[in-house]
Each structure stands twice: as structure tokens, then as C-alpha cells.
Amino acid sequence: MSIKIDLANQVRQTSLPKWKPLLPLFEAVMNSFEAIKEARLPENSPGQITVTIKRQADLFHDDAPPVVGFLIEDNGIGLDDRNFESFNTAFSSNKQAIGGKGLGRFTWLKAFDRAHIRSTFVDHDETLLTREFDFDESYDLDTRGLPKPTETGAPGTTVELINFRQDYRDRVPKATDVLVQKLIEHFILVLLEPDCPILIVIDLGQRYNLKEIFEREYKSSASARDFTIGDVPFQVHGFRLPTSRTTKHKLVYAADQRAVTSDKLEDYVPTLSSRLADESGNPFFYLAIVQSPYLSEHVNQIRSDFALTSEDADLELELSDEPLIPRGEIRDKVIEFIEEDLETIIESVNAEKFERVKRYVHQNAPQYKFLLRHAHSFLRRLSPRPRNSEIETVLHREHHRREVELKRESSKIIREADKIDDYEGYHKRLSHFIDNYNELGVSALAQYVSHRKIILEFLKRAISHQDGKISTRASCSSTRLSHEVHLRRHS
């Protein structure tokens, strides 16, 4: 006797974040991809998946009505006995070799009231059979899904996800273009495969061929690289997306050819805070996808995030027997690839940023003039069109960073003075240190002169606009300030 499962309790224990409302759809579409691959269709009969978006029948919506469900159809192998047994087995290992967790269908019931399934397949004796049943929390294997002979149709499966629950429905994008973009982004690594089935989306009377959109707008600009962290292999793909497809530069982390989670690249590369223009002047946003067996091994059960890839894995390293890779280390490697992939474009953006910085320094902040010679060290921290306040903040931090480094270097030079083995090398190092220290000294003097000029201008205006009594006080203050400046210059 096999162990039974309390389906309603299993659904309650299934975690599906509210910010992942399309995950049940993705799981159903991935099932279709796998069913088509398993069917081994002839070349003259390509695999096809059709996703029909079901919307609320409401005539009072000016824009697109809310999404209430999805209909997913494929011409794959169908729910034959082996696949149906897997469907009825929680945590099934049937698709473990291709990353299956055996939990995808439970997310259907987490976000929808039920799923209606109709599947036609060829039995072992070449008989064409069909199963049709509702999958809901009262699903009973003994009474549903029994196959019946059919004389019409062809192998394939239809899954209709019915009645989106309100708390998930409210998070679903209404715009068709956004839904299309989400599907392409999630399955972009599948779409890269040469034998990828046709993927169609039907919505509001329009038909969208996602494979054609991918070939036209994504694949033509694609680039890729392999890299390793330690002995662990990774692969990253980069795409330049038309601005009609997205509004942010993103890094997506994928597992088993499926997008899992993402970072906004502007949080780590300010140059990527707004759209870029390619060599022909066409605007685009950048999408990077990173995948690895490591990520596939560490994705959680419902593919909403990764385990053991936190920013700071020190504690996890102490508690684990296996080498862990922080997510930040993966990100840094990908950003190196992105900056090389966009090198020419980033250089052009940085040249424009440098002109803005130079103008600001000459007009408002001469104390930072020496930093212009080191612009390569801070330009990447500025957004493409920085305001004066942002420039001031970055320059101030760079100035402070150099001050701290020089203090650290001076202490090191003093400590090593009594045990010099390489005098020539030490002398070069000392000369370099003095040159940098003099730069800071010139900067401090420029800042002092700038402040003195502002104060003198303020006093001049005060003297000319106030009555005699206040003017006398201002004049005295001016005399004291001039005396103080004289003493400082000669001290």
C-alpha cells in the first residue's frame, strides 16, 4: 500500500510568494516543453505550445481587464500511464534529471481554484486514449483521470488554470507586452535551443509568436561567456532588449533553464540606471542571464530563490561541509562580463560624464581638480547624467578614500623605514607617496581659498546693504577674517 497525501494540507504548505503570481503558469508551460521533448516529434510536425490569456468579462474597463486564468495547450506526449503516475505522486522523481521538483502542480492550486486537464495519449498497444478531470483540493485518484478510448484528436495536453485567487490576481501585469516579456525572460535559455518548440501567446484577439520575437529582438544581439569560481563552472548570456520590451537593466539568475530571481543592475553599476544607445543610436536595456549546475543544485523547491547564496556566507560556510559561493561573488563576475560586453558604449557614456564632472569642478569645486586625473576610478559610480549634488557626493567620497589610503600608506612607510632592503624601490614608493600627499595639500589650499572667497563676498554684501551699526560690525568681522587669513598664509 502506497502512502497517501493530504492534498489540501500539501497546498497549504506550498510556498508561493505573492510577488511570483506567474510561477504556476511557468510551471505549466515548462511541463509542455518537457512533454514535447519526450514525444520526439518528427521534423515535419514541430512542437507547439499555445498560451491563451483569460481575462475578466467586464465591459467597464478602459484598459485591459484583469487576468483571471490561463489555457495552456501542447502537442506533447500526453498523460500516459507513466506520466499520470508521476502526476499523482508528490515529490515525484520522474523529472529529477532535468531539474523537476515534483511540486509545480501544487502551485496551481495555491494561486487558482482549480485546474481542468484534458490529455490524449497513445497507449502501449497503440490505442488512442483521453483523460479529462479537474485537479482541485478534493482531487481523488480513485475517481478521476481514468482513461477513455477516443477516435479523434492527437496526442497532447490542455491545462486550464481557472479563477485566479484575488491576492495573486492583483499582482499580475495587465499589459500583454509585459506578460509576453515575462514569458520570454523566464524561458530565454530554452528559447536559445535550436529545437525549441513554437510558443504562441493569444490575448485580446492578438496572436504573438514568442519564438519569432526572441529570434528578432533578442538572439541577434546575444553574447555569451563561460567562467569559473573556484572549480565551479558558470555561463552568462547577455541580451540588448528594445526599450519597448523592458524598462530596467537586469541580471537574472537561472536554474534548470528557468529564471528564478533577479537583481537590478543599476544598484551595482550606476551607468546602467537609464537606457543606453547602441552603435547605431538605437535605445536598449541590457538583460544578463547566469546559469550553472551550482545554481540548479541550490534553487529552492518552488524556484523562487536560491539557498546558500547569500551576500555574506561566512556563517553558512562554518555550518556546511561543501564550499558555498556568495551571490555577490557570482554577480561581480557577471558585471565584469557586462562591462566588457558594453565596453564601447560605457566608454562613450563615461566621456560625457567626465565633461560634466570637469565643468562642475572648474565652476564650483576647484579643490577636486586633482581628482580629474584619476577619473577612471570613480566615473563608473556616477549615473549617466549626474546632477551636481551626485557629482559632489562622489568626488567627496573619492577624496576621503584617498585621504584614508594615504594615512595608511604613511604609517606603513614609517614602520618600514628602519628595515630597508631595497633602497631604490623604497625611494620610488616614498616619492609616489609625497606626490599624492602634495595633491591633497593643493586640494586643501584650493578649498580654503574657495571658502575665503565666499565669506568675503558675503561680508561685502552685508556691508553694502545694512545700516551703519551692522556695517561697522561686518567691517570688524572682515578685518578679523583678513588678519586670520594673513596669519594662516604665513604660518
In order of 235, 378, 395, 405, 408, the CA distances from 433 in angstroms are 42, 20, 20, 10, 11
Work out the pLDDT band at 98, boundaries 50, 70, 90: very low
In this prediction, residues 236-261 reach a mean pLDDT of: 89
In this prediction, residues 336-352 reach a mean pLDDT of: 93
CA-based nearest residue to 41, from 189, 154, 139: 154
Work out the pLDDT band at 226, boundaries 50, 70, 90: very high
List, in order of start, the domains of the chain with CATH numbers: 1-213 (3.30.565.10), 218-341 (no CATH), 346-463 (no CATH)
Comparing 131-135, 251-255, 409-413, which segment has the lowest mean pLDDT?
A: 409-413
H/E element holding 158? strand 156-164
- 3-state class (DSSP) for residue 244: coil
Q: Over 50: is that where the pLDDT of 227 sits? A: yes
Name the more confident of 34 and 313. 34
CB-based burial label for 475 (10 Å; 0-12, 13-18, 19+)? middle
Q: Taking all residues of the chain, what is their mean pLDDT, rounded to a whole number?
A: 80
Per-residue model confidence as pLDDT tens digits over 251-296:
999 998 888 999 999 999 888 988 999 888 899 999 999 999 999 9
pTM for this prediction: 0.72
pLDDT for position 319 = 46
235-261 as b/e, with b when 16 or more CB fall inside 10 Å? ebbbbbbbeebbebbbbbbbbbbbbbb
Work out the pLDDT band at 247, boundaries 50, 70, 90: confident
In this prediction, residues 114-118 reach a mean pLDDT of: 95
Contact 342, 276 (CB under 8 A): yes
pLDDT for position 331 = 95
Q: Over 80: is that where the pLDDT of 380 sits? A: yes
Work out the pLDDT band at 480, boundaries 50, 70, 90: low
155 grid coordinates: 496526442
In the chain, the percentage of residues whose pLDDT exceeds 70 is 74
pLDDT for position 287 = 94
Q: Over 70: is that where the pLDDT of 482 sits? A: no
